[in-house]
Structure 1
Amino acid sequence: MATRLQRIVPLTASVMLALTISACDTPSPAPPIKSSKNSADSQSPDASASSSAAASATIVGPAPSDLHDVDWPRTPAPGAFCGVPKVVRFDAQGQATATSTVWGTVHLMRGRTVLYGDTDGDHRDEAAEYLGCVDGVPQNGQIAAAYAVYAHVGKNLGVIGTITPHKKSAAYTTALVGLDFSPGRIVAHEKWYRSNDPQCCASGDATTVWYRHGDRLTAGTTHITS
């Protein structure tokens, strides 16, 4: 199964100023996750989940039997992609404020489109949601981007990896513009800036293959395609 997100546009200053954000630079328990198909699966974390699986994935709460039923805007996500060393909890609009060890106070937001695909062959989709990060300087625009990839870990919902751009740009932040799911791997599509590219229009294209090993993702080779 392959799903493509057509375009991610860097956050503009007007979007950043429009954020109404709740402080959340400390880890919090996952909020309730709705399940319309199997409420029994969403009552409590699975105590039988192996310690090795838990060590490989970041558990953020109980999971419904189908990840399409998750209340994504409120679902926690690791903040390390923006220098936040803790799990971040978002408000009902998918927004948050946190403290980055790199940029200080930062604003994070979740994308509105969730991508789905099966990477482990169990006929249940994993899910990936876009994460953006901006600081307090409007002209900086977006300073970091990622996809948090969620999967079932026993009856728990776990983040098995955070996909970040691997092709560095000469200017601005390399954008993530889509993912392709296939057995054992996810291909991330990146748009990178050459030295003369304006902020609106990155001209470079690259792909990075992320391999799934159990309940974790590992980045492979990055290929420049244009």
Structure 2
Amino acid sequence: MANGLRHVLPFTAFLTALLATGACDASDPAPRITPSTQRPASSAPASPPESPRETPSVVGPAPADLRDMDWSEVPVPGEFCGVPGLVRVDATGDALATSRTWGTVRVSRTQNIVYGDSDGDRRDEAAVFVGCDDNGLTQNADIAVAYVVYGHAGKDLAVIGSITPRQKSAAYHAGLVGVEFAPGRIVVSEKWFRPNDAHCCPSGDATTVWTREGDRLTPGAPRVTS
């Protein structure tokens, strides 16, 4: 055993010296990379999250024909503007709420309501246009917009989902300017900003098809038309 140790120890010393020599000749190692927690600066707001739903969210009773609905009593899902839960607007169609993204915002529901049947049950759904702004803090108009799609869940009114712009804009969020119902889908027209467009006047046009499967709305890729 002693003879074995005499052979092992010189080899171990030789290996240690060889590794030390390689370390001295090697170039300095690169500094360790630490992931950044900061987001890159951008003048364009973050895209709101998609809001597909596996099951519709019931908000109250509904007439057989949604054209007979008193929309002034219907709450608005605020997720399109980063507001959790439902927002109940006042008689003017407005409400103040707290957004996770923008702080205090004003959520507005307009009278722009489009009806159509996308699920083939011979009862129309309704797409209600909603928006939110910074409550007059700046000169900006809406900072987020959506079409909230309502439909029947038995005899109740339910939120099927919120349709938001999908086309990316240079500085401001894209706008929604039209919606059409078709079997199994909802087709949305968008206006988007090119780099040199003024805030008032987006010059780009795009179309996004949202597919409906049961009570789930899934957006396709936006198609630029101009």
Q: Which residue is 2:129 aligned to? A: 130
Gaps of at least 5 residues in structure 1 are 1-53
Contact 1:74 1:94 in 2 (8 A): no
CA distance in 2 between partners of 1:206 and 1:173 (Å): 13
CA distance in 1 between partners of 2:201 and 2:103 (Å): 28
Amino acid at match of 1:220: G
CA distance in 2 between partners of 1:139 and 1:172 (Å): 13
1:208 deviation in Å?
0.7
What are the within-5 Å matches in structure 2 for residues 73-222 of structure 1? Answer: 73-136=72-135, 137-222=137-222
Q: Which residue is 2:65 aligned to? A: 66
Contact 1:207 1:222 in 2 (8 A): yes
1:222 deviation in Å?
1.1
Of structures 1 and 2, the larger Rg is shown by: 2
CA distance in 2 between partners of 1:145 and 1:74 (Å): 20
Gaps of at least 5 residues in structure 2 are 1-52
CA distance in 2 between partners of 1:131 and 1:94 (Å): 9
Amino acid at match of 1:146: A
| 3-state secondary structure, aligned to 1:142 | coil
| Count of matched residue positions in the alignment of Structure 1 and Structure 2 | 173
Q: Which residue is 2:5 aligned to? A: none
CA distance in 1 between partners of 2:63 and 2:202 (Å): 38
1:55 deviation in Å?
5.2
Taking structure 1 as the reference length, the TM-score comes to 0.74
Taking structure 2 as the reference length, the TM-score comes to 0.74
CA distance in 2 between partners of 1:74 and 1:178 (Å): 24
* Identity rate, percent: 60
CA distance in 1 between partners of 2:201 and 2:132 (Å): 19
